[in-house]
Amino acid sequence: MKDDALSQILKWLRLNAEIYVHADFQGCWAVDTSGQRHVPFHLINSGRSWLHLPGKEPQLLSAGDLVIFPRDAQHFLSSEEETPSIELVDETLEQLGQPGNETGPVTGLTCGYFEFENKAAWPLLDSLPDVIVLELSDTSRMGNTRTLLHLIIAELEENDPGTRVAVNHLTHALFIHILRSQISKGIDQGVLAALFHPRIGQILNQIHSHPEQDWTLDSMARQAGMSRTAFSEQFRELTGQTAMRYLSEWRMLQAAELLRTTEQPIISIAEQCGYHSEIAFRKAFKSITGETPGAVRKKA
């Protein structure tokens, strides 16, 4: 089976995922996982929790709710409707995993994060809202995602050999489910929307698979079955940039990865990215990334 355009992006950006809290909270508690330059998420396994966002009214989350912060928005989850203090957050962290004497309702939380190991900027998340709340109790739409989360929780609780790797892979799949859920809600702009567009997505798939091809605006439009003008307008409307600029950025993303992870000659990398002249490649690379190929390789 060939990779689709979204799979290729995630492969090059090397999406990692990890779960670092799976515990019950009781009494007065608060957690804050923002500010780590990740994409944090929280699953309410049981009970309920209040979600606090700056400048917004607290939102009550119930068992089965999954909340994600695509751009690492500042937030708190807590037992109380009132905004918690930093001191309570610190106190909760210190007591995590220790036996306590608290009373009252219990809230089960699973907390984790997604991150891109490849730090190259790619606007995959730009079209997503700052906060996503998925109500997994809606089995008609979220049944598969709910099943996936049940598998993650079962792995965590059984803690058999290989659990860490299994959970990371399952959580990786969870990220893709989250992206699909947003498309189904009607996102109509951004790279994510373009990937799922029946014609533009087809071209992105071809660009990602064959960046070395001698692409032109005419050849892209022809493969999409659209006129040059219609294709150009649709592509820009969806992604916010021209098709040729997108092609250049994708080529440089691939080139930067090859520079960091291989010892291939620069001319070889240039040819794999659609450039027949090393001078032209170096000039384009510096224009797109702000660095020279040699500087990127040296830092790696």
Dist. CA 84–CA 74, nearest whole Å = 13
pLDDT of res. 144: 87
Cα distances from 172 to residues 14, 16, 253, 272, in angstroms, run 10, 7, 21, 28
Spans in the chain with pLDDT lower than 70 = 1-2, 97-102, 118-123, 139-140
Q: What is the pLDDT of residues 225-269, one digit of tens each?
A: 999 999 999 999 999 999 999 999 999 988 998 998 999 999 999
Domains and CATH numbers, the chain: 5-184 (2.60.120.10), 197-299 (1.10.10.60)
Q: Which residue intervals of the chain are DSSP H helices?
A: 5-13, 86-95, 139-158, 163-184, 191-195, 200-209, 217-224, 228-239, 243-261, 266-272, 278-289, 293-299
Extract the tokens encoding 300. Answer: 């790696």
* Cβ-based burial of 167 (10 A; exposed 0-12, middle 13-18, buried ≥19): buried
- Which residues 6+ apart lie within 8 Å of 127 measured at CB? 182, 187, 189, 190, 191, 192, 193
Dist. CA 104–CA 27, nearest whole Å = 6
Q: Is 172 helix (H, G, I), strand (E, B) or coil?
A: helix
Dist. CA 295–CA 221, nearest whole Å = 36
pTM of the model: 0.78
Dist. CA 68–CA 42, nearest whole Å = 7
Question: Strand ranges (DSSP E) for 53-93?
Answer: 59-62, 65-68, 76-78
